[in-house]
Amino acid sequence: MTTSGEKKVRSFIAILVPSEGIEALEQVVKILDQEIGRHVRWVRPEGIHVTLRFMGDIPVATVEQLLEALPPVAAGFSPFELAISGLGAFPNLRRPRVLWAGLDGELTALSELQLAVDEAVGKLGLPREQRAFSPHLTLGRVRSDVAEGQLRKIGEVMSSIEIPSIPGWPADTVSLMRTELDPAGSRHYLVGPAPIGGK
C-alpha cells in the first residue's frame, strides 16, 4: 500500500534506437515539420524508442524491484535484429493522432520479449497491459484542436514521405527508463540496462 507522500517515478521499459536510426528519423521529422509542424508536438529525437511497457508513476521501491526482475527476463532471449520501416498513424491515417515510424525485422522475437516483460511487471503487482502490442517509434502527437480537413492533410503527408533506407540494428538491451516532464517536452533517463542474452 503506497502512502500519498511516497515518492513516485514516471517509468517505462524500452529498447533504445541507435544514433544512426535517430539521425535518420530526425531528417524525416524535419521534412514532415515543414509540411505539418504547426499541428504536431514532436518527440525529442533522443527520446524516440520502442516502448515495451509504460508503467506511469510508480513507487521508488517498485523501480528497485524492476531493476532486479528485468535482467533474468532479458537473459532468457537472444539478441535480435530490428529495422525502421515506413510511416503511419494511430488510430489511422484518416484521423491521425499519434504519428509513428514502423518497425521491421524479427518482430516475433520482439513480441515474445514484450510479453515476458509485461508478465514480469504484472508479478510486481502492476496492472497488465490491456492493449495489444503494436511495435512502433512515436515521432509526434497531433494537437487536439486540429480541424478535420487538416487531419486528412496530415495523413496524406505521412503516407507520401519515404523513409530513407536505414541499416537494421541488433536489439541487445532492455532499458528501464524514467521520465521527467518539462514545458519543452519529456526528457528520458536510463535507470538501468538489462542485456538481452545476459552478459
C-alpha to C-alpha distance for 133 and 37, rounded to whole angstroms: 28
The answer to whether residues 105 and 124 touch, using CB atoms and an 8 Å cutoff, is no
Radius of gyration of the chain (CA): 17
Helix (H) or strand (E) holding 87: strand 80-90
Q: Verify whether residue 49 is a known catalytic residue.
A: yes
User: Catalytic: which of 39, 49, 53, 188?
Assistant: 49
Determine the residue type at 94.
Answer: R
Catalytic residue among 117, 136, 142, 171: 136
Give the separation between CA 28 and CA 142, rounded to whole angstroms: 16
Helices (H), the chain: 19-36, 60-75, 107-123, 148-160
What amino acid positions are annotated as catalytic residues?
Answer: 49, 136
